Amino acid sequence: MSLQDYESVIGLEVHVELNTKHKAFCECSTAFGAPPNSQVCPVCLAMPGALPVLNREVVDSAIKAGIATHCTIEHFSRFDRKNYFYPDLPKAYQITQNDFPICTNGYVEVAAGENLRRIRISQIHMEEDAGKLIHHADGTEIDCNRCGVPLLEIVSEPDARSAEEAVAYLRKLRAMVRYTGISDGRMNEGSLRCDVNLSVRKKGEEAFGTRVEIKNINSFNFVARAIESEFKRQVDLLENDGTIVQETRRFDEKSGQTYAMRSKENAADYRYFPDPDLVPVRVTDEEIEEIRTSIPRMADERSAFYTDVYKLTAYEAERLTEDKEMSDFFETAVSHTRYPKTLVSLILADISPLFTEEMAEVPVSPSSLGSLSDLLGDDEINSSTGRRILKELLVKDFDPVAYVKEHELAQINDRGVLQPVVGAAVEANARAVKDFLSGKETALRAIIGFVMKQTQGRANPVLAETMIRELIAKAN
Ligand code: ADP
Ligand code: ZN
Ligand code: MG
């Protein structure tokens, strides 16, 4: 038996920090980076007798997330208290939704090769964040600014079967929170946090194995590495007659291994009960419909449209819709070109990093990029000229058609014009011609290079190659 005989079964619990102005149950600001304990009040500090009032914006955000992930939005949901003691939790309980979450039974689709796979979402619920402990050499301080900041927890069914699928699912969720505008979804800043539940089983088996939970992983890359290493650890245990203990583990970024943190607590340990200070949350059909019409088309829908209409591959469509700004950019640019596929390669190769690195501005305008795609698609310019123009467009926008005229960059597709250059090239590269004739195909490159150089890179390289072959064949 080896690793290939096993598969991993993965369920993800994702926490999304919402970008509401105020906290979930009080009027305190949620702004990041304020001095410690400057954004607190009797409610979020748990003073006796202070009463929470639900911020309705949190409910709207949850509904948006639910609609975007095909969930049922429940007309009735309720808050529970999850009791545990920790210094960053002044109330000694977290307000969350256990028995009646606001959204249930949804899914997102992820690309798995050329196919789509559904990862089901069992529920989305609203809850509050805890504070932060700041450790120093001589002690620990508590900052309660984050106490009561609203979170959504999105719980998946154990449907993912590999690190790639788990990461694709997370990317989809990040896109979803950005499309709906409920969070910036930045993993490195903690606004998207992920717990990975993982068990292994022999391929072909139905029953799930014992699962381990890996807490609080803060990048896609670490999620993938944690899954790979935990998968190996569990298979190794099973192969050597060990047993897997249900426990909570931590991923260590330096060693790339997971470590035991504590044995898994049961729901019973938390003594959940309905929060008597908060009224149940009621949502009407009208409210749901109003929110439905307010959210933009999601990545899934756009993806399906792109593969249908523009014949993009599932991979291209997925990449393009990962970021809403990038997808919006494509939709504007595509109306300016007859060559969507060319446009997509330009965006994915050279422009996408600008969106994902979250630089404030993408200098090139959608219409210029559309024109550039036309110039390339129509063979007006060759690809190296295209690359050269794009490089300049990424500094400052201009009209590529006028630019090509002004700088005489148009590709030479005219046999008559190329004829003398090709003749000279063959003459000047007698050695390469000889090598080519003795079977060394790559020797042609030197001759093509000569033609390109003579034409300042403007010759159509495919035509040049054809003509060189013809000339050599004729002469020998
Ligand atoms: P808990 O009550 O301990 O939080 P849940 O039933 O809510 O457990 O599940 C938490 C997460 O664990 C979910 O994402 C779920 O899909 C996942 N999960 C449950 N069973 C397994 C399993 N056998 N292997 C992998 N993941 C699992
Ligand atoms: Zn407060
Ligand atoms: Mg749970």
- Which class for 438: exposed (0-12), middle (13-18), buried (19 or more C-beta within 10 A)? exposed
Confidence (pLDDT) at 358: 57
Residue 205 has pLDDT above 90, yes or no: yes
Position 356 scores a pLDDT of 64
Q: What's the pLDDT at 415?
A: 92
Distance CA 355, CA 323 (A): 7
> What is residue 352's predicted lDDT score, i.e. its pLDDT?
80
Find the 53 Cα to ligand 1 centroid distance in Å: 31
Residue of minimum CA distance from atom 15 in ligand 1:
11
- Residue 277 contacts residue 51 (beta carbons within 8 Å): yes
> Which ligand has its closest atom nearest to the C-alpha of 41?
2
Q: What is the mean pLDDT of residues 143-167?
A: 97
Q: Whose CA is nearest to atom 6 of ligand 1?
A: 157
pLDDT at residue 310 tops 70: yes
Q: Inform me whether the pLDDT recorded for 383 exceeds 90.
A: no
Ligand 1 atom nearest the C-alpha of 208 is: 23
Gap between the Cα atoms of 460 and 382, Å rounded: 6
Name the DSSP class of 22.
Answer: B
Closest listed ligand to the CA of 266: 1
Secondary structure class of 109 (helix, strand, coil): strand
Is a pLDDT exceeding 60 seen at residue 359? no
Buried b (16+ CB within 10 A) or exposed e, 283-315: beeebeeebeeebeebbbebbeebbeebebebe
Note the pLDDT of residue 263: 77
Choice from 123, 154, 155 to test ligand 1 binding pocket (greatest atom count within 8 A of CB):
155
Residues 217-242: what's their mean pLDDT?
A: 94
- pLDDT number for residue 323: 85
pLDDT digits (tens, 9 = 90+) for 232-260: 999 999 999 889 999 999 999 889 899 88
Indicate the top mutation candidate among 9, 119, 197 to test ligand 1's pocket, ranked by most ligand atoms within 8 A of CB: 197
At 33 the pLDDT is 87
Average pLDDT for residues 93-104, to the nearest whole number? 97
Ligand 1: which of 123, 211, 270 to mutate, most ligand atoms within 8 Å of CB? 211
Domains by residue range for the chain, with CATH: 3-289 (no CATH), 297-406 (no CATH), 415-475 (1.10.10.410)
Question: In the predicted model, is pLDDT for residue 349 greater than 80?
Answer: yes
Structure-model confidence comparison of residues 357 and 104, the more confident one = 104
For residue 265, what pLDDT band results from cuts at 50, 70 and 90?
low
- Of 14 and 245, which is predicted with more confidence? 14
Q: Which of 13-17, 26-30, 183-187 has the lowest mean pLDDT?
A: 183-187
Q: What is the mean pLDDT of residues 261-287?
A: 89
Which atom, in ligand 1's list, is nearest to the CA of 197?
A: 26
Name the β-bridge partners of 154: 14, 124
> In this prediction, what percent of the chain has a pLDDT beyond 90?
76
Question: Ligand 1: residues whose CB is within 6 Å?
Answer: 9-13, 155-158, 197-199, 208, 211, 267
Q: Residue 320 in contact with residue 309, Cβ under 8 Å?
A: no
Whether residue 200 contacts residue 238, with contact meaning beta carbons closer than 8 Å, is answered with: yes
Round the average pLDDT of the chain to a whole number and report it. 92
pTM of the predicted protein model: 0.81
Burial class (CB in 10 A: 0-12, 13-18, 19+), 87: exposed
Atom 11 of ligand 1: nearest residue by CA position: 11
Q: How far apart are CA 455 and CA 385, in angstroms?
A: 12
Give the model's pLDDT for residue 188. 85
Report residue 261's pLDDT band, with 50, 70 and 90 as the boundaries: confident
Q: Whose CA is nearest to atom 5 of ligand 1?
A: 155
Mean pLDDT, range 41-60, rounded to an integer: 97
| Ligand 1 center to 323 CA (angstroms) | 29
Give the ligand whose atoms come closest to the C-alpha of residue 26.
2
What integer pLDDT is reported at residue 189 of this predicted model?
A: 86
In this model, does residue 357 exceed pLDDT 90?
no
Question: Ligand 1 centre and the CA of 35: distance in Å?
Answer: 37
- For residue 158, report the distance from its CA to the centre of ligand 1, in Å: 7
Q: Residue 120: which pLDDT band, with cuts at 50, 70 and 90? A: very high
Greater model confidence, 353 or 423: 423
Res. 154: pLDDT tops 70:
yes
Q: Which two tokens stand for residue 128?
A: 């509050």
